[in-house]
Amino acid sequence: MRQKLAARLGENVPRYTSYPTAPHFHAGVDAVVYRGWLEALEGGDEISLYLHIPYCDRLCWFCACHTKQTRHYEPVAAYLRSLYAEIATVGGLVTGKGRVRAVHFGGGSPTMLEPEDIVALGSVLRNSFAFLPGAKISVEIEPNDMDDARLDALAEIGTTRASLGVQDFDPKVQKAINREQSFLQTKAVVDGVRSRGVESVNLDLLYGLPHQTRESVSSTVAQALTLEPDRIALFGYAHVPWFKKHQTMIDEAWLPGPAERFAQLQLAARAIVDQGYEAIGLDHFAKPGDALALAARAGTLHRNFQGYTDDCCETLIGLGPSSISQFRQGYAQNMPSTSEYRCTVDDGGLAAVRGIALSNDDRVRGWIIERLMCDFAFSAIDLVERFGEAGQRLLLQSSSMALHDPVRLLELDGDRFVVPAESRPFVRSIAARFDKYFETGTARHSAAV
């Protein structure tokens, strides 16, 4: 049955970190609309912030992030001055209208910043936004960047969660993706952040990379587990050379085929769960006492542009080029060009140039897709109680899938539509059945598994 599902559902589909997905954003949501959404925030609102650092001192061939390589620090220092300007402008618009519950530093490589700039950025944020007591601060870490001064700087800004990119520990795989990083180097960073009071450590692992085999994936997972991370993210490599040209450095002949990818996923997931981790959604794992596992069990798990999260803030403000903001009204995305971004924000402007305002139908479908991605299920009663007539229309579609699709994408269990266990690895393809934009879009996506 699983192989039949893989053959039918192993298509290229969105990752559904938003709905509608980013390829359907348009220029109708611009800086004027974005300003209105910022000004409409209310005093009791809780806010998450995402800060994008679009630079790396080395470009990894597998990466699909919005970043650029630089061997000199001046472009980074100049960019930070512009980022401070955007923070000041946005902070001025939301002052008194919401408080920050969580901050996520992503990239690129946030840890490429000099230690004093890490501390300065933390101070600028706290001077520009009101923070709730106990606000969570998470940072994506490139272990090759790290030294004691940077570890101390992360502690000084109050980092509570560190996310380390591992990918694979096999030297042949690392060479093929231009990401050489030893196990001992990674362990030193994990030990370093923990000794400085960081509460949670996440490791990012990949399957489907060039030259990966089930044996190399198994070895990497075994080594990663000895570090006892609180969370593990197990992603499938997304080979999208039409979108990220540097991925052409990876010879497609080196990549495992769909059946091998699926076998690597299953092997890695089984090894992680066997060590006591709970499977979270499609590709995350957490220790039973971790906040992500607690949210999953409580039915309060969410999904945003950083993946699975226990962050329940309705508002996420993205800062930096290409960053995406989420509001109750819709999504807004900053311009991707770093030079255009700098010109705009240096003059006190807002950088949003595209996005989408949510219709009621978007909200219904987005809720179903998020619950499928997070819980592999949704309640028919909740659907209708939340969305009324619009929910009733989607209830009919769900019922048709549950009753008439021979591949058992959905099953009825009481009032709940449930993705059966054998279909869960393909939940992105199932979610796509509720995506009204999917068939009409021209965007190209990564493989579902």
Residues 235-269 pLDDT 10s: 998 877 877 777 778 888 899 998 899 999 999 99
Whether 443 shows a pLDDT value over 70: the answer reads no
- The answer to which of 116-130, 159-173, 399-413 has the lowest mean pLDDT is 399-413
Is the pLDDT at 316 greater than 80? The verdict is yes
Count of other CB atoms within 10 angstroms of residue 360: 12
What's the chain's Rg over C-alpha atoms? 21
Which positions ≥6 away from 381 have C-beta within 8 Å?
Answer: 415
For residue range 322-378, what is the model confidence (pLDDT) as tens digits?
999 999 999 999 999 999 999 999 999 999 999 999 999 999 999 999 999 999 999
CB 107 within 8 A of CB 56: yes
Across 364-388, b (16+ Cβ under 10 Å) vs e yields bbbbbbbbbbbbbebbbeebbeebe
pLDDT value for 405: 81
Name the band, by pLDDT with cuts 50, 70 and 90, for residue 437.
very high
pLDDT at 9: 47
Q: CA 208, CA 354: separation in Å to the nearest integer? A: 32
What is the reported pLDDT for 442?
A: 55
As a whole number of angstroms, the longest Cα–Cα distance in the chain is 61
Alpha carbons within 13 angstroms on the beta-carbon side of residue 333 total 19
Band of residue 64 on the pLDDT scale cut at 50, 70, 90: confident
275-305: per-residue pLDDT in tens?
A: 999 999 999 999 999 999 999 999 999 999 8
Supply the mean pLDDT for the chain.
92
pLDDT exceeds 90 at position 155: yes
pLDDT of residue 37: 98
Please tell me the predicted confidence (pLDDT) of residue 408: 79
Q: Give 178-197 pLDDT, tens digit per residue.
A: 889 999 999 999 999 999 99
Region 9-29 average pLDDT: 88
Confidence of residue 226 (pLDDT cuts 50, 70, 90): very high
Domains of the chain with CATH codes = 1-17+359-441 (1.10.10.920), 21-319 (3.20.20.70)
Per-residue pLDDT tens for 22-54?
999 999 999 999 999 999 999 889 999 999 999
Please report which helix (H) or strand (E) contains residue 388, including its range.
Answer: helix 380-404
Q: What is the mean pLDDT of the segment spanning 126-152? A: 96
CB environment 30-41: b (16+ within 10 A), e (fewer): ebebbbebbeeb
φ/ψ of residue 280, rounded to 5? -120, 115
Q: How many residues does the chain have?
A: 449
Backbone angles phi, psi at 90, to 5 degrees: -65, -40
Q: Are strands 55-56 and 68-69 parallel, antiparallel or unpaired?
A: parallel
pLDDT exceeds cutoff 80 at 400? yes
Spell out the long-range contacts of 258-263 with Cβ–Cβ below 8 A and sequence spacing 24 or more: 258/6, 258/10, 258/447, 258/449, 259/3, 259/6, 260/213, 260/214, 261/207, 261/208, 261/236, 261/447, 261/449, 262/2, 262/6, 262/10, 262/425, 262/449, 263/214
Q: Which residue has the tokens 């952040």?
A: 193
Mean pLDDT of 112-126: 98
Question: Has residue 76 got a pLDDT over 80?
Answer: yes
